[in-house]
Structure formats: structure tokens, C-alpha cells
């Protein structure tokens, strides 16, 4: 892989990528909502090029946190299934999976995209928990953008099952709310700096060239709600501004796709 | 087992989902659905959907797991959290471990493991939506993934269950028939023939009922075997021309 790393860096400095794309150009993005129609309460499959993730939404009813007795809760989990890449192993989530889940979670949580107060059943007693489960089936890079996009698509597709107060359980066959109460559409885009250039939607091959990445989650008003710097190398203030600027364009494209 | 009130097969011979007793659910199979894996397939049986992948034959570590005269299969069976109505907590459990083991045993006799001494073959099955029959569907998918990976086999393995609901022996029990019916016997066969490589059962049956189930499930496996061949041809026919 050393050879490719060198090649990728050299090509980037000459304005080129291995697969011939422009630096800002994403691979083909495909969003299939309601991909898991019978068992999930909202779902989507997102393909970005060969990268493939399935996101499913589930609900449960639990006691609220003491400091937020009138708010529902969110749990985000990501599984990098061993089938997604040769180097992935079975077992408890490793660092990349945990980071993935937490970055997806922050974008949704910090933007207050889900109206958690609307998910309160009885203050201090019972609230809905929204589970966002990201299942990565094929990793060809840019898992962060694919997973965040899948999460928001699945939430938009979802419904809230009815709560049966007598038996104090969810009735999965009855609809409580037609839609999951949403206030915003946070969308995530990641720029990766390789050498002196910034590439978008990197493949696994390009990600092996290391460099550094910055993931930016923006609302439709272009408010920045979550960021995460990754990769082994450093970046400058100027890089950060450039990446946020371009993320505004990229996320607008994602929003158009979500509305189709 | 609260099956007394359910009319499992109505006067017209229709089951709770409209099938007749000898019908499989609507099944579709697609080979080569993933890119990183050496082989992959997705099989959909009614509302049950399983993706299977194969990596290998490849180096097997740690070394003490290697067999000097044949390849070793590592098998993972996993249900995605959203694949069931009440969310499944992620991570391995005893049920998944056991299914991984019996699925491995179902496939091993069909794979020419002796051609790859000391190597490892990693198979994994992800259930993404379930309505009964996930292990059978997973085995059918895994066998296609092995073929897609180009691993030499003496045949394909297909798997389905037959069961008893009320007094009726039925093919390919769905989730409701499995949970609330009497018995469920998943089997797997090589090339849809007489070699049975998986058999499990729970319920309360006479020997005759067991025999009826096995023979009906064998017919189901033979039907699935044909569909597997068709799916492989669909994937590779185009490339040869």
C-alpha cells in the first residue's frame, strides 16, 4: 500500500485522483428510504460509490434522565460488520466504530434535530428512546458522511410506535405518531487534506494515504453543529475555513437528494 | 404454545399468510452484492433478509487455529439491532453462537477444505430483517457467497424448514408459525439431494410427523437449490459473453 500512498499524494499535488474525479466531486449517492419495511420503525440504505450502510430506527420506552425528566433520549450505535472490509474483526466495537457512532450522534443531538420533548410520555416517568443503529455492510471510504446521511434519511422515513399504557409496553403494530418529530435536517460532509490539497468523499484507498480529515455537520441554516478532526496529520486555521466553506455546498446537495 | 385459537390452515387450504401447505415464501437471491468481500449474496425469503459474505481462503491467525490438512471455516451469525420488532441489543449471544456453529457444520461437508491446508475461510451472515427462518436463509446465502468467492465445492447447500402448525405439516414456517405453532425443523441439503447437513428441532411431534417434515423440507431445499443456480447464472452469464 506504500506505493499507492505515494501515488495518491503525487497525483493530488497535480490535481488528480485515482478514479478521475474532481477534488470536490462525490461518487454517485443513492438513498433508499424504508429499506427495512417490516421490523424497523424507520430505515434507509445509503450507497456512496461502493460504500454501503443500512440505518434502522427502533424505539423503546424508558425512564428519563433525572436532569431532563421531560425529554426523550437518543442512543446511537454503529457496527462495522466484518463483511465490510477484510481487516474488520468480530467483537465489541473498536475505536473507529465508536467514533463513527459518536460523530453521527453529535450532529443529531447538538442540532436538536429530534424534538425530544415531544417524545415525553409522562414527565419523570416514561419517555421514548430513539435508537439509531448504523450497520456498515461495505466500506469503501467516507463512512462518516454515508452513516450520517443514512441516519437522517432513516429518521425522516420513520414513525413513532404507540405506547400501550395498560401493559406499559410499545405496540409495534400501532402508530403513535405518523412522523418522528424533527425540527432540523443536520447533514455531514468530510474534507480530507492530503498533502496541500483537500479531497472530498475519499475512497478506502485514498484514506490509506493518511493526511487529516475534518468532518462538519451543518443545519439547513448553515449553523455548524458538530465537528471532528481526524487523521494523523495536522491542519491549519485556513484549512478549517476552506473545509467549512465547501461543506456548505456539499450538504446542500445532500439535502436535495434527501428531498427527492 | 398458544395455538388453540388460530386457524392455521383455512377451508381453502390457505395458511395465515395466504400460502398453501407446500409453498415456500416468495424468495429472491442476488449474488455479488458487496465489493470488499471475496464473495457475497443476499437472500430474501418472505420478510426475512440475510446478507452473507466470504473472505478467503486466506492466512489464518492465530496459528494454533490452523489445521495442517485442511482449511478452517470461521462463521459469524449476527442479527442487526433493527432486524426484529423489539430492538436486539448488539453483540454476540448464546443463540447467535450456536447458530454460527450449526451453520458452519451445514456448509463444511460441501466445501473442499482439504484443498487449502492451514488456510482460513471467514463467512459472515448479517440478518437485516427477520420473520422466521433466519438460519436457513443465512446458510442458503452463505453457500452462494462461497460460490461467488470461487471456492471449490462439491455442491451448493440450501436450507429451509418444515414445521407443524395445528395438525398440519407446512413448508417454510414464517415468524408467526414458528413462534406460535407447534414445531419447526430446519434442514439443509447438498445440491438439493439426499445428503442432510443440518437438522434441528423443537416442538412435540410423533415420529411420523418428524419424517413428514424432513421429507417436505427436502423438497423445499431442492427448489431453493434450483433458485441458487439461477442466481449464480444471472451473475456470471453476462460476463462470459
Q: Is residue B95 part of a domain?
A: yes
Grade residue A7 by pLDDT with cuts at 50, 70 and 90.
confident
* Beta carbons of A198 and A239 less than 8 angstroms apart: yes
Residues of B whose CB is below 8 A from A81: 78, 124, 126
Look up residue B22 and give its DSSP letter: T
Q: Is residue B68 part of a domain?
A: yes
User: Could you tell me which chain A residue has the CA closest to the CA of B59?
Assistant: A86
End-to-end CA distance of chain A: 39
**Whole-number pLDDT of residue B241:** 46
pLDDT in tens, A51-88: 999 999 999 999 999 999 999 999 999 999 999 999 88
Buried b (16+ CB within 10 A) or exposed e, B37-46: bbbbbbbbbb
> Cβ contact (<8 Å) for B82 and A56?
yes
> Cβ contact (<8 Å) for B51 and A137?
yes
Nearest chain A Cα distance for residue B81, angstroms: 7
Which of A37, A49, A83, A174 is the best residue to mutate to test the B interface, defined by the most B CB atoms within 10 Å of its own CB?
A83
Using the predicted structure, report yes or no on whether residue A3 has a pLDDT greater than 90.
no
pLDDT in tens, A193-217: 998 899 999 999 999 887 899 999 9
Q: Which of A39, A52, A137 sits opposite B130 (nearest CB)?
A: A39
Q: Give the start-to-end residue ranges of the domains of chain A.
A: 2-259
> Cβ contact (<8 Å) for B81 and A131?
yes
CA distance A182 to B174: 35
> Cβ contact (<8 Å) for B128 and A135?
yes
**Whole-number pLDDT of residue B239:** 55
> Cβ contact (<8 Å) for A36 and B129?
yes
pLDDT in tens, A115-165: 999 999 999 999 999 999 999 999 999 999 999 999 999 999 999 999 998
Range of the domain at B101: 18-234
Residues of B whose CB is below 8 A from A54: 80, 128
Element (H, E) at B175: helix B175-180
> Cβ contact (<8 Å) for B51 and A83?
yes
* Beta carbons of A67 and A116 less than 8 angstroms apart: no
Please count the structural domains in chain B: 1
The alpha carbon dihedral of A87, A88, A90, A91 has a sign of positive
> Cβ contact (<8 Å) for B85 and A133?
no
User: Could you tell me which chain A residue has the CA closest to the CA of B85?
Assistant: A39
Q: Is residue B4 part of a domain?
A: no
CA distance A169 to B93: 24
Q: Tens of pLDDT along chain B (241 residues)?
A: 444 578 999 999 999 999 999 999 999 999 999 999 999 999 999 999 999 999 999 999 889 999 999 999 999 999 999 999 999 999 889 999 999 999 999 999 999 999 999 999 999 999 999 999 999 999 999 999 999 999 999 999 999 999 999 999 999 999 999 999 999 999 999 999 999 999 999 999 999 999 999 999 999 999 999 999 999 999 998 655 4
ipTM of the complex: 0.90
**Which of A38-47, A94-103, A166-175, B206-215 has the weakest average pLDDT?**
A166-175
**Whole-number pLDDT of residue A208:** 85
Q: Is residue B13 part of a domain?
A: no
CATH value at residue B109: 3.30.230.70
> Cβ contact (<8 Å) for B81 and A133?
yes
Cβ of A51: how many Cβ atoms within 10 Å? 26
**Whole-number pLDDT of residue A157:** 97
Using the predicted structure, report yes or no on whether residue A182 has a pLDDT greater than 80.
yes
Mean pLDDT over A10-37 rounds to 93
Residues of A whose CB is below 8 A from B84: 39
Given this structure, which CATH class describes domain A2-259? alpha beta
**Whole-number pLDDT of residue B85:** 92
pLDDT in tens, A230-241: 998 999 999 999
**Which of A73-82, A134-143, A169-178, A245-254 has the weakest average pLDDT?**
A169-178
Nearest chain B Cα distance for residue A42, angstroms: 9
| 3 state SS for B130-193 | CCCCHHHHHHHHHHHHHHHCCCCECCCEEEEEEEEECCEEEECCCHHHHHHCCEEEEEEEECCC
Amino acid at each position: 500500500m506504500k506505493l499507492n500512498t505515494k501515488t495518491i499524494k503525487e497525483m493530488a499535488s497535480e490535481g488528480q485522483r485515482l478514479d478521475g474525479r474532481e477534488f470536490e466531486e462525490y461518487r454517485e449517492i443513492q438513498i433508499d428510504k424504508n429499506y427495512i419495511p417490516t421490523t424497523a420503525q424507520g430505515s434507509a440504505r445509503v450507497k456512496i460509490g461502493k460504500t454501503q450502510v443500512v440505518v434502522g430506527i427502533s424505539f423503546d420506552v424508558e425512564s428519563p434522565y433525572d436532569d431532563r425528566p421531560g425529554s426523550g433520549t437518543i442512543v446511537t450505535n454503529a457496527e462495522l460488520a466484518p463483511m465490510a472490509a477484510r481487516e474488520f474483526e468480530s467483537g465489541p466495537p473498536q475505536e473507529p466504530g465508536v467514533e463513527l457512532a459518536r460523530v453521527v450522534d453529535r450532529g443529531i443531538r447538538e442540532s436538536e434535530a429530534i424534538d425530544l420533548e415531544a417524545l415525553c410520555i409522562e414527565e419523570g416517568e416514561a419517555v421514548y428512546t430513539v435508537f439509531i443503529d448504523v450497520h456498515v455492510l461495505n466500506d469503501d471510504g467516507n463512512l462518516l458522511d454515508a452513516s450520517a446521511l443514512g441516519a437522517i434519511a432513516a429518521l425522516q422515513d420513520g414513525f413513532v410506535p404507540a405506547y400501550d399504557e395498560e401493559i406499559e409496553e410499545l405496540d409495534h403494530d400501532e402508530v403513535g405518531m405518523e412522523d418522528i418529530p424533527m425540527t432540523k435536517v443536520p447533514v455531514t460532509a468530510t474534507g480530507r487534506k492530503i498533502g496541500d490539497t483537500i479531497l472530498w468523499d475519499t475512497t478506502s484507498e485514498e484514506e490509506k494515504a493518511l493526511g487529516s480529515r475534518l468532518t462538519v455537520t451543518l443545519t439547513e441554516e448553515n449553523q455548524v453543529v458538530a465537528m471532528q478532526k481526524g487523521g494523523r496529520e495536522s491542519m491549519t486555521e485556513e484549512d478549517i475555513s476552506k473545509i467549512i466553506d465547501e461543506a456548505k455546498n456539499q450538504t446542500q446537495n445532500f439535502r436535495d437528494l434527501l428531498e427527492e | 404454545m398458544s395455538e388453540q385459537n388460530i386457524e392455521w390452515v383455512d377451508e381453502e387450504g390457505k395458511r395465515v399468510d395466504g400460502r398453501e401447505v407446500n409453498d415456500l415464501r416468495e424468495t429472491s437471491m442476488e449474488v455479488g452484492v458487496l465489493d470488499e468481500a471475496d464473495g457475497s449474496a443476499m437472500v430474501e425469503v418472505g420478510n426475512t433478509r440475510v446478507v452473507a459474505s466470504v473472505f478467503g481462503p486466506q492466512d489464518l491467525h492465530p496459528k494454533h487455529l490452523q489445521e495442517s490438512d485442511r482449511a478452517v471455516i470461521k462463521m459469524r451469525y449476527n442479527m442487526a439491532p433493527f432486524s426484529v420488532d423489539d430492538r436486539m441489543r448488539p453483540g454476540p449471544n448464546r443463540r447467535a453462537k450456536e447458530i454460527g456453529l450449526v451453520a458452519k457444520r451445514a456448509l463444511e461437508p460441501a466445501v473442499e477444505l482439504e484443498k487449502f491446508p492451514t488456510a482460513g475461510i471467514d463467512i459472515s451472515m448479517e440478518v437485516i430483517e427477520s420473520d422466521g427462518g433466519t438460519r436457513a436463509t443465512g446458510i442458503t446465502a452463505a453457500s452462494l457467497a462461497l460460490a461467488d468467492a470461487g471456492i471449490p465445492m462439491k455442491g451448493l447447500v440450501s436450507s429451509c424448514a418444515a414445521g407443524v402448525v395445528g395438525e398440519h405439516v407446512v413448508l417454510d414456517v414464517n415468524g408467526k408459525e414458528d413462534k406460535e405453532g407447534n414445531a419447526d425443523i430446519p434442514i439443509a441439503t447438498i445440491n438439493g439431494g439426499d445428503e442432510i447437513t443440518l437438522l434441528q428441532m423443537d416442538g412435540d411431534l410423533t415420529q411420523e410427523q418428524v419424517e413428514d417434515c424432513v421429507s417436505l423440507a427436502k423438497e423445499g431445499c431442492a427448489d431453493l437449490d434450483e433458485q441458487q443456480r439461477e442466481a449464480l447464472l444471472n451473475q456470471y452469464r453476462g460476463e462470459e459473453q
